[in-house]
Every structure is written in structure tokens, then in C-alpha cells.
Structure 1
């Protein structure tokens, strides 16, 4: 069952909804046949069990109780927040020896939030609130898995708590809703936090096709005491007219070398004097200090120095 991108329910509707953290990880259906083993299958239908050997203990905890669970595999950073960049180092590694080595360096955690079958009985038609109660009753808490609690009837509280803790967003689920496999349902809503930031443009790369000769992506940075720190590139969200305007501005700011304090390995980069400031939105930071999922919002002429 998939969530529909949508705003949170209105405050007057909160009582009919439960609220969960939106985890930034890999969604998996977890099959536990009751013989002490576990099988994880991704949304694409791929068996990814071998990639996460540290989760086999879940099967031992549920030994004797066959179940099908729903959850998300994440890797937590030092502050306890999901870090998709770290998780990518674990994804798709099916060699047992390599997977075991990576499990020591980047241990995953399985966040469980639903139960679809238990002891041979289907719970698909049961209400979300009832399925959550069944899941909580299983007491699934181990070194690599848990069933984090949901919050009923307090959407704004969930929103503020996840925003303050640096999580990706909130998933709202109607308390009376059944589980409908394979459906992107309006009974589940996902709402992402986005952050707005002013960045300085230090270069650009040319677009392709119809965008030949125009900026395809802008190379951005943040100023600190040591100079201009590279924060990655942004191209999403730019209209053709904005690209044409930027091309004119950037043409008068050309310079032969990079303005960033560290080496920037970008093929075909055109460097410019770092005077243009832009506002972008993004969902977080990568381990390397780059903007995650940046989207262009607007140029900030009030902060731009064309000297």
C-alpha cells in the first residue's frame, strides 16, 4: 500500500488519523514463515534478504508465529536520523561476506509499521488502528528492528516533532482504513518537510537538447570563514525563461577558475564570479555536505552583488 503526496489532514479532521514518521529508506515487505527465517522483498519485487544479514534475528524472535510485516530499512546517522546516503552503501550487496562486513560498518534498522498477516490469518481488511495494536502486541524490539509508535489525532504535533528532529516528513494514515496492496491510496498521505536556503552560484553546466547553450544546472555554494563551500548542483525547477535570464547574467561574470575553496569534479563546468544568490528548497544534507533533492525557487536580486 502506497501513500499519496498531499497536505496533512486539516486540524478539525485530526481525530480520524494516525501519524507516523516518514522514513528515508527502502520499503520492504517482510515475510516471516515461522521457522526462524526472514525474507525481505522490495517494492520492485526484488528479494533483498541477503543484503541485510543483521535482520535475521527478527525471524528468531517470531519463531513459531508466521507473519507478513511492512516496514522500511534505514541506516541512522550519529544523531539517530535516517541517512539515505549511508543506506546506499548497503543496497544491492548480495555477496554474503561483503554484506556481513558492511553490516558492521553501516548497520541497518528495520522500522516496522504494519502487519498484514499473522498466524495464518489475513489482517488486510482490519482497520489501521487495529493492525497497529496487533503490531504493538508482538513486542518486536531488537538490535536491528523496532516498531516505532504512531500518534493519533495530533497531526501538528507530529509535524513539529519530525521537523525539529530532522526527519523527512510525516505519513498520515486514516485510522479506519484497510490495507490495500499495490494501491496508492488517499487513506495514506505523505507530506515532506522542505527547507529553504540562500545559496551562491559559482558555476554552471550546459543543458542538453533544447537547452543547449543554456544552464542545465547551477553549481552552488555557501560562504563561511574559509571561503565558498561547494554544496552541489541544482537544475530542477528552472523554467526556460529563467535559464535564458541566467545565461545573460552568467555571461558577464565568467572567470577562468573555480571560486569554490575545495576541488569540484564536475565535467564541463563553466566558472563565474560568486555574486549571484539564489533561493532553493531541499530535503536535507548528504554525508558529503551536498544538498539533497534541491529545487530552484528564485533568484534573489536583493542579495546579489553585481559590483
Structure 2
């Protein structure tokens, strides 16, 4: 069951919803057959058990009680926040168990559990969320590499504000009376992603394909470093209407140049460079450790802002 992007439920319905922290990890369904074994499957259905050997003791956590659980595999940073970049070093190792074991010692994962779909031989998917949640919490599944974080009923605005204050990815709102709909992106679950917004300088673009042929499929953006160089921070390919994309295409053609404005030049194949004169505002979730924007989306052009073209153009503080 997948969540639909949206906003908080109406205040009058607040007590009809539960609120869980949105985690930036790999969705997983966990099968506990009750014989001490464990099977972990990704959203695609792929068996990813061998990628996370530190989760194997979970197989015996319920003794001989079989269960199917829903959750998210995370890698945590020093502050206990989900770090997707670290998790990427663990993903894709299901067919390399020896390497997965070595990586488990360096980048351990943590499984957060938020739903129970089958228990003691009985399917629970037709039960309301509130009942499934109660059954899940009664299992007491908290161990060295897994836990069952709490869910807050009501107080959605406060919960969302807390995720922003603590720098968390966002909030998932779940209707208390909702059944579990496998494979469905349901309005009974609503996800709210906390986004940041910053100004960026456009330094290039990539051609679109299909219906976007002749238009920019993505723009390549950067920000000025302290030394004045334009540092590449990522590619942005979403957030425009058709009219806005057409307008942007005309502006990019006028600013075309053969010289890459980024230093160092990003390893992007097929890029068209432009003079770094266009400023835009983008929304994004987090930054990688190398400074790239994760999940960036275009918000608007900033014609009111004109970027300096080089370090020599930057203010020197002498007035």
C-alpha cells in the first residue's frame, strides 16, 4: 500500500487520522514463517534478504508465531536521522552476500516496522488501521536493528511542525478506519514531504525526449562557492508547466555558450552550456554529502536576481 502526496487532513477530521514520521529508506515487506527464518522483499518483489544480514535475528523474535510485516529499511546518521546516501551503499547487494556482510559492519541498517498484514495464520489486511496498529505494537518488536516507532493520533499540525524542526523527511497521515490496500496508492494514506527552497544559477541543460523534443528535459544548476566559482549542485527536471518550459527554452537559446560555466565540470553526457545569468528557485528534500540536491523540483524563475559571473564580480566588502 502506497501513500498519495498531499497535505494535512482538515482540522475537523484530525482525530480520525494517525501520524507517522516519513522515513527516507527502502520499503520492505518482511515474512516471518515462525521457524526462525526470515524473508525480506522490496517493493518490486525482489528478495533482498541477503543484502541485510543484520536483520536475520528478527526471524526468531516472535518464536513460532508466523507474521508478515510492512516497514522501511534505513541507514542512520550520527544524529539518528535516515541517511539515504549511506543506505545506497547497502542496496543492491542481495546477490553479493560476502560484500553485504562486510558492509553491514561499516554501515548497519535499522528496520522500522509500521504495519502487520498477516499474523498467526490470519490475514489482517481487511482490519482497520487502528486495529492493525494495536496488534503490531503488542508484538513488542524492538531489537538491535529493528523497532516499532509510535504513531500519534490527532495533533497533525504539531506532528508536521516537529518533523520540520528536527530536520526529518516528513509525515505520513493514515486514516484510522482504513483497510490495507496492497499495491494501491491510496488517499487513505497521505504523505507530506518537508522541502527546502533555495536560489540556483542555471549553467546548462539537457534536451528532452518524446513530447519534450526540442525543449529542455532538465536544467543543470549551481551555486557560487566562497571563492566565486560556480559549483554544480544537480539537475532539475520537474516543476514546469508546458508554457514555462517553452519560455525557458527561449531564454536558454539566447544564453548558449560552448564553455562549461561549472568548476569542476560535471560528468553529464549531452549537456548544452549557457552563460550563468538565469537565476531560479528550486525545492529539494536534502543534500548529499557532496552537496548535490536530492529530489529537486523547479519553483520559479527569479528575474529580479542577477548573478555575478565570476569571482571578480562578487562584492569584496570594501564598499
TM-score, with structure 2 as normaliser:
0.87
Secondary structure in structure 2 of the residue aligned to 1:246: helix
Q: Which residue matches 1:304?
A: 306
Matches within 5 A, 1:75-224: 75-94=75-94, 95-208=96-209, 211-212=212-213, 214-224=215-225
Secondary structure in structure 2 of the residue aligned to 1:110: strand
Aligned counterparts of 1:250 and 1:158: Cα–Cα separation in 2: 42
Superposition deviation, residue 254 in structure 1: 4.2
Stretches of structure 2 lacking an aligned partner (at least 5 in a row):
310-319
Q: Which residue matches 1:235?
A: 237
Superposition deviation, residue 15 in structure 1: 0.6
2:203, 2:275 within 8 Å by CA — same for their partners in 1? yes
Aligned counterparts of 2:307 and 2:182: Cα–Cα separation in 1: 54
Superposition deviation, residue 251 in structure 1: 4.2
Q: Which residue matches 2:55?
A: 55
Q: 1:306 to 1:56 in 2, by over 3 A?
A: closer
Aligned counterparts of 2:210 and 2:27: Cα–Cα separation in 1: 35
Mean alpha-carbon deviation: is it higher for 168-177 or for 84-93?
84-93
Aligned counterparts of 1:210 and 1:172: Cα–Cα separation in 2: 35
Aligned counterparts of 2:281 and 2:195: Cα–Cα separation in 1: 13
Secondary structure in structure 2 of the residue aligned to 1:284: coil
Q: Which residue matches 1:72?
A: 72
TM-score, with structure 1 as normaliser:
0.90
| Count of residues in Structure 1 that have an aligned counterpart in Structure 2 | 307
Stretches of structure 1 lacking an aligned partner (at least 5 in a row):
none
Q: RMSD across aligned C-alpha pairs, in angstroms?
A: 2.3
Aligned counterparts of 1:70 and 1:22: Cα–Cα separation in 2: 14
1:204, 1:216 within 8 Å by CA — same for their partners in 2? yes
Aligned counterparts of 1:211 and 1:182: Cα–Cα separation in 2: 30
1:254, 1:272 within 8 Å by CA — same for their partners in 2? yes
Q: Which residue matches 1:2?
A: 2
Aligned counterparts of 2:187 and 2:61: Cα–Cα separation in 1: 34
Q: 1:300 to 1:98 in 2, by over 3 A?
A: same
